[in-house]
Amino acid sequence: MATNPYNAPRARVADSSNDVGEAKFWSFAGRLGRMRYIAYSFAATLIVYGVMIVIALLGGGLAMLGGGGNNAGAAAGGTFLLLMIPIVILMLVIGFMLAIQRCHDFNMSGWLSILIIIPLVNFFTFLAFIFIPGTNGNNNFGSKPPPNSPGVIVLFVFAILGSIAYLGMIFAIAIPAYNGYIERAKQMQNQGQGQINQEDFQKQMEQMQQQLQQEQQAQQQK
């Protein structure tokens, strides 16, 4: 019996929207969800700052071994700067890789990641990377990211707590400094007003003396 070619297919068609991609840290391709982006950025920051602290300690140790003189300090500072160059380059590379994958997640070109190196604009770009949700399912840059692992969730929690603690430290330093600035400004304003009052008093005394002199001259003429 001939089959009707216009009948609907009976075989199951795979749903490509349920495809899950692979989580990649060291890659410019693929997609990265919001939580994984924050967790990876936090982990990369910890590693880079840890390496910087180790390099600084080694530089200080070399300076002490060299006698602690000016030459030893200059040599240690030069070594620190030379070692910092690849660290800074590494930070930029990691930042671009994570930013590009985050752009891919909400179906935008990776060229948008160039905004992370523009001062002030990079702050709002980071906020956008945090709050813009990814595409539900496949998009032009691949399958959706895999579910967040327990390690990613732990890193995410530590990143949030660390950010809150960092902001708390900034406010704890900035608020007293601002209050001190306001108090100094008020003191300077009061001192300025005091100087103005003294100048007015001196002018009034000079005017009174001139009037007295004029009266005395007038009496003498009489």
Query: C-alpha 71: how far from its chain's center?
Result: 35
Closest alpha carbon to 32 in 127, 125, 159, 135? 135
pTM of the model: 0.67
pLDDT at position 12, please?
Answer: 53
Question: 122: exposed, middle or buried (C-beta count within 10 Å: 0-12, 13-18, 19+)?
Answer: middle
pLDDT in tens, 179-219: 877 888 777 777 666 555 666 767 777 777 777 777 777 66
Using CA atoms in the order 154, 159, 160, 164, what is the torsion angle rounded to 10 degrees? 140
**CB 180, CB 71: distance < 8 Å:** no
Q: Is the pLDDT of residue 7 over 90?
A: no
pLDDT digits (tens, 9 = 90+) for 137-157: 899 998 889 999 999 999 999
